Copies of this chain bind each other. A is one copy, B any other.
Amino acid sequence: LSRAFADVEIGKLSGAVGTYSTLDPEVEQAVMEKLRLAHEPVSTQVVPRDRHAALVAAIALAGSSLERLAVELRHLQRTEVREIEEPFREGQKGSSAMPHKRNPIICERISGLARVLRGNAQVAFENVPLWHERDISHSSAERVILPDSTTLIDYMQHLASGVIDGMRVYPDRMRENLELTHGALYSQAVLSALVETGLSRDQAYRLVQQNAQRAWDEGRSFQALLEQEPQVAERLDAGALSELCDPHRFLRHLPAVFERLEELGR
């Protein structure tokens, strides 16, 4: 967005067909400097509309990325998952049918407005191939899409920041949901460990898949099931299995990822 907004900080004073017929290029340059704008290197009657299209497309892209966040949170808030809730005021009314239930209405609003931004990008692209030095057809369209797109992305950023700042997080629910498969989600880790002990990949896969399926279908502990499998037990003792079925293993590279994220922000 920064790059795209910088790219439209540009002006022109090159006359009605871009030939500097009444003013010299030096005048244009001096005026633009006073206005703290760059001057368009080669203009027609107007600044070519590819600049504006690049901006409106960048806004549509930013909006789609905000929607990516919004979609994730909408999933996490659904009744069956309920790992987070977007912020709500005390006394805010819940869903009309279920007063105790709250819908992720802010994230849904972000999703809806992201669509408007994408539609506007389409309009901006169509504004590029103007006729001759320019026709004025882009003008009516830009009066709609330029204020709408710039205002909406600003509003959506405020909405998204507010959601993150005030989000309610339910770690217990996260833990419960992790337990839904009764450990089957550790199957990849166990598979790799078995192969490393020398078991053939085919045999290891069959062992792991059977027990993972059984754990999930019958609601029994994947780890306990594996402990009773002779072929597994002789290769991995209870301690090793415990370690493989521990969710903390998945977090060990978290610091490295956060470090990269911080670098991006710099």
A interface residue numbers (CB < 8 A to B): 15-22, 24-25, 41-42, 45, 48, 50, 53-54, 57, 60-61, 64-65, 67-68, 70-72, 74-75, 78-81, 95-101, 103, 105, 108-109, 111-116, 118-123, 125-132, 135-142, 144-145, 148, 177, 180-181, 184-185, 187-189, 191-192, 205, 208-209, 212-213, 216, 249-254, 256-257, 260-261, 263-264
Alpha-carbon separation in the docked complex, A254 to B121 (Å): 34
Q: Which residue of B lies closest to A128 (CB)?
A: B64
Main secondary structure of the interface of A (DSSP, over half): helix
Which residue of chain B has the shortest Cβ distance to A23 in the bound complex? B253
- Judge whether A64 and B131 touch: CB under 8 Å: no
Protomer copies: 4
A116 CA to B17 CA, complexed, in Å = 27
Q: Is the CB of A136 within 8 A of B22?
A: no
Contact of A188 with B145 in the complex, beta carbons under 8 Å: no
A8→B75 CA distance, assembly (Å) = 28
**A249–B209 alpha-carbon span in the complex (Å):** 41
What are the residues of chain B within 8 A of A213 when measuring CB–CB?
Answer: 100
Distance of A232 from chain B, by nearest CB (Å):
15
Question: Distance (Å) between the CB of A74 and the closest chain B CB?
Answer: 7
User: Which residues of B sit under 8 angstroms from A54, Cβ to Cβ?
Assistant: 61
